[in-house]
Amino acid sequence: MGANTEIFMQITENFIKIDTPRTSLIFRRYDELLETIFYGAKVADAQNYDILSSHKHKYSHSCIDDIIAANTTFSCYGMGCDRKFSLSLKNFDGGYANNFLFRRAQAAEKPEIPGLPSSYGARETLMLVYYDETYDIELRQYYSVFDDTDVIAVSTCLENKSPHDAFIRSMASCQLDTDGYGYEIFSYTGTWARERYCSRTLLNVGVFEQGTVRGSSSHAVNPFIMLKRPARMGGYYAFNLVYSGNHKECVESTAMHSTRITIGMGDCCLELPLQAGKAFHSPEAVMLFGENRQNISLQMHRFVNRHIIRPQFLKERPVAVNIWEACRFDFDRSKILRFAGRAAEIGAELLVIDDGWFGNRNDEKTSLGDWTDNVSKTGGLETLAEEIRKKGLQFGIWMEPEMISPESDLMRSHPEYVLQNPRRRPILMRNQYVLDLTRKEVQDYIYGCIERLMELCSPDYIKWDYNRVITDAYHSSDLAGDAYSLAYMKALYALFEKILRKYPNLLIESCAAGGGRFDLGMLCYTPQIWTSDMTDAVERVHIQEGTLTGYPQSAMSAHIASEICEKTGRRIRLRDRFALALEGVFGIEYDITRCGAAELSELKEYVSFYKEHRGLLLYGDYFLAESDENGEAAVRTVVSADKEEAVAEIFKRKQIFNCEQNKYRLSGLNDDFVYKIQIYGMETQFTAQGKLLNSYGLELDKYFPKDRSGVYSNEINTLVLLLKRVQGQNSEGNYF
């Protein structure tokens, strides 16, 4: 135990309580099981917590009648429970019924999960041990708490101690049984270029289930999920999974007024052998209670920044200029160098060559797998990288290592590398196949390509793309039976481990046709993720709000793109595109070689503003003052931990005519501080008290700039406010 002597865990004969800084989770011993009797705001230690739940011996005619409805920490067929199970096994004799009884609870080391990433830096870990005597299988659950966030990391391990093989048919990492029904479920759903739109479902009695079978966490539904507890209970729960493959989130509410939430790997095509004498450890899930949405985001962000993202990347990330949206496949060395020149001029720090630098890749149809320098385009990467560096920039490059084009040297020499069932023709998507990453020779091939590229031009940054989904999962005979999606993910994680072991400071930005693999598993290796191929600032208001609910600004890449968005046809002013890019890892992705002097100097100012406030913008506390869901305006603030400074952004989507009041409230400021507020890009400054800003808001409509002909933008109008605490009684402004 560290210098902090606070105890996070209480284990007595009848109760087990674990605390986070501001929440408690309490279990009660119930016959030979454990009941979850409380998960909410922190409660003081006591000898007896019966007052929190009257469930025990409700029916009292038999224990099993009680257990059927009890709130347990896991569930499976064979124990009387008739709700969705967190665990489903096929035992060696073909039976599906198990009976895991509680054996003990104890403090433990936080386990490493074989082959899978998990959070680091936990303060204490509780281990619950259950045992099924009939089949000689032990079930262990781990709950880890942290000093500085209320997130609890949970994982489940099954150990088959018998001489017989069994099969896991499904296994959640975490089950939370709680009271009440009528939860409102916030899920983050979408599709390509429309990722993580918040979608809300009110669940009364019934089942809500979401997940993916695409082999990746997917554009369709993110593993992050948030639940608003019924009004009479108050508060929110949130969950996520440290995993990038198929996942499943399930919420079931019953007429008995209880709700079960299970979070874990997806079970599509799953038949996971639990061999005699072997153990299987689930991916790690995370769960969180917070009194409001705001707190959920704050705590999740803190968790991701301090316990998921590797410490070497917790720093100010470089401002990138990426050439993709400007050039697609059409570039050569001199064009790249023109971009680099401009990038250096405006103060950017990293030049990224995207798709098209390798093999014969001049469109989407060829060359994935052939990671050799196309010298006719680059003029030689080695010297190109040098020239870029001479301009004071870092050098970055795009790869899509998990894929293969049918038209490629790799396909000609190793058609067997394609992921496929030998009896079926694999499905072609985006003109490409997936490599069978579970094969050792494929892993070695990819690693070799990366090593060669590093030797050639030692990129500081790699954009690691993944542009299709897995449709042909197949258990090849040497796979030792692991379910494919899981085996694939383990192989990918092992590859990242190996790369980062050799190049620990290599900044990898993950990407999957935009934000199709935006999850905690990837963030364990790649500290930032390309949020979406949708670079229209209006669309980004929503995509970024959804993303920021569960993930920190430091994880979310956001670039200023072209004035007219190719996808939506919207024309958006530079200042508004800048305001949206400011919310994440800032970059620029349009043709800056064509900008005139005025535009360049505007860009230069924006880059310098971002650089000046980057620490705050990336790692400050994020507050959603007003959600874009109302369709009128979104207001978000990022506030320093000491509340001395903040950046607030207002994204106004709608002009409302003839209304008396249109005030904008900020959030997260210290009520008692007085702030000087500077509207970025204007002379206007005023002072106001934090309380006023937090609770009532300011009439700021008059500050939205009009263009030269006196009109507002049709699409979006933004304001960036810079707030700094002023000491003493300053009353120069009209709002103080």
* Shortest Cβ 684–ligand GLA spacing (Å): 37
Question: How many positions of this chain bind ligand GLA (CB under 6 A)?
Answer: 11
Q: Which two tokens stand for residue 472?
A: 């042909």
The set of residues, in sequence order, having a beta carbon less than 8 Å from that of 101 and lying 6+ positions away, is 32, 33, 130, 131, 132, 133
As measured in angstroms, the least distance from the Cβ of 462 to ligand GLA is 12
Rg of the chain over CA atoms, in angstroms? Answer: 27
In the complex with ligand GLA, the residue whose CB is nearer, 355 or 576, is 355
Task: Classify the phi-psi angles of 70: left when phi > 0, otherwise alpha if psi is within -120 to 50, otherwise beta.
Answer: beta
Q: How far is the CB of 437 from ligand GLA (least distance, A)?
A: 19
Give least dist CB 573 to ligand GLA, A: 23
Q: Which is nearer to ligand GLA, 16 or 403 (CB)?
A: 403
For ligand GLA, the nearest residue by Cβ is 355
Is residue 642 among the annotated active site residues?
no
Q: Which is nearer to ligand GLA, 351 or 638 (CB)?
A: 351
Which residues touch 219 (CB under 8 Å, ≥6 apart)?
A: 190, 191, 192, 194, 195, 512, 513, 514, 515, 516
Please, which of residues 43-82 interact with ligand GLA by CB under 6 A?
Answer: none
Would you say how long the chain is, in residues? Answer: 736
Told to check if 467 binds ligand GLA by CB under 6 A, we report: yes
Q: Identify residues 278-337 at the interface with ligand GLA (CB under 6 A).
A: 324
Can residue 354 be called a binding residue for ligand GLA (CB under 6 A)? yes
Report CA-CA distances (Å) from 217 to 191, 212, 240, 242, 648: 12, 7, 11, 10, 31
CB of 327 to ligand GLA, least distance (A): 11
**CA angle centred on 371, ends 367 and 374, rounded to 5°:** 80
Nearer to ligand GLA, 24 or 322 (CB): 322
Would you count residue 603 as binding ligand GLA (CB under 6 A)? no
Contact (Cβ atoms closer than 8 angstroms) between residue 652 and residue 717: yes
User: Does 398 interact with ligand GLA (rule: CB under 6 A)?
Assistant: yes
Burial class (CB in 10 A: 0-12, 13-18, 19+), 247: buried
The tokens for 443 are 């892993």
Q: Which is nearer to ligand GLA, 370 or 621 (CB)?
A: 370
Report the residue number, 327 or 721, with the smaller CB distance to ligand GLA: 327
Of 679, 689, 553, the residue nearest 621 (C-alpha): 553
Spatial separation of the C-alpha atoms in residues 138 and 161, rounded to whole Å: 7
Is residue 139 involved in binding ligand GLA (CB under 6 A)?
no
Q: Does 370 bind ligand GLA (CB under 6 A)?
A: no
With respect to ligand GLA, which residue has the nearer C-beta, 55 or 559? 559
Q: Which two tokens stand for residue 562?
A: 């072209």
To the nearest whole angstrom, how small is the minimum distance from the Cβ of residue 386 to ligand GLA?
24
Residue 386 has a CB neighbour count (10 Å cut-off) of 12
Angle at 154 between CA 516 and CA 115, to 5 degrees: 60
Query: Pick the catalytic residue: 177, 533, 621, 701?
Result: 533
To the query of whether residue 147 is one of the catalytic residues in this protein, the response is no
- Tell me, what DSSP letter sits at residue 594? G
One of 195, 355, 536, 649 touching ligand GLA (CB under 6 A): 355
Name, in order, each residue with C-beta under 8 angstroms of 200's C-beta and a sequence gap of 6 or more: 184, 185, 186, 187
Report d(CA 420, CA 427) in Å as an integer: 9
> What is the distance, to the nearest Å, from the Cα of residue 725 to the centroid of all Cα atoms in its chain?
32
Based on the shown chain and the rule CB under 6 A, indicate whether residue 651 belongs to the binding site for ligand GLA: no
Q: Which one is catalytic: 66, 267, 355, 465?
A: 465
Site for ligand GLA in 506-545 (CB under 6 A): 511, 513-514, 530, 533
- Provide the minimum distance between the beta carbon of 72 and ligand GLA in the complex, in angstroms, as a whole number: 42
Given a contact cutoff of 8 angstroms between Cβ atoms, the answer to whether 496 and 443 are in contact is no
Q: Is residue 284 a contact partner of residue 223, using CB atoms and an 8 Å limit? A: no
Of 245 and 515, nearer to ligand GLA (C-beta) is 515
Of the pair 118, 526, the CB lying nearest ligand GLA is at 526
Least separation in angstroms between residue 508's CB and ligand GLA is 14
d(CA 75, CA 177) in angstroms, rounded, equals 10
590 binds ligand GLA (CB under 6 A): no
Q: Looking at the DSSP assignment, which residues form a beta bridge with residue 140?
A: 129, 157
Count Cβ atoms below 10 Å from residue 679 Cβ, excluding itself.
Answer: 19
* C-alpha to C-alpha distances, 597 to 81, 346, 604, nearest whole angstrom: 70, 11, 10
465 lies in the site for ligand GLA, by CB under 6 A:
yes
Least distance CB 192 / ligand GLA (angstroms): 8
- CA 534 to CA 707: how far, in whole Å? 25
Q: Is 358 or 622 the residue whose CB approaches ligand GLA more closely?
A: 358
Closest approach of ligand GLA to the CB of residue 53, in Å: 48
State the residues that interact with ligand GLA by CB under 6 A.
324, 354-355, 398, 465, 467, 511, 513-514, 530, 533
Residues tagged active-site: 465, 533
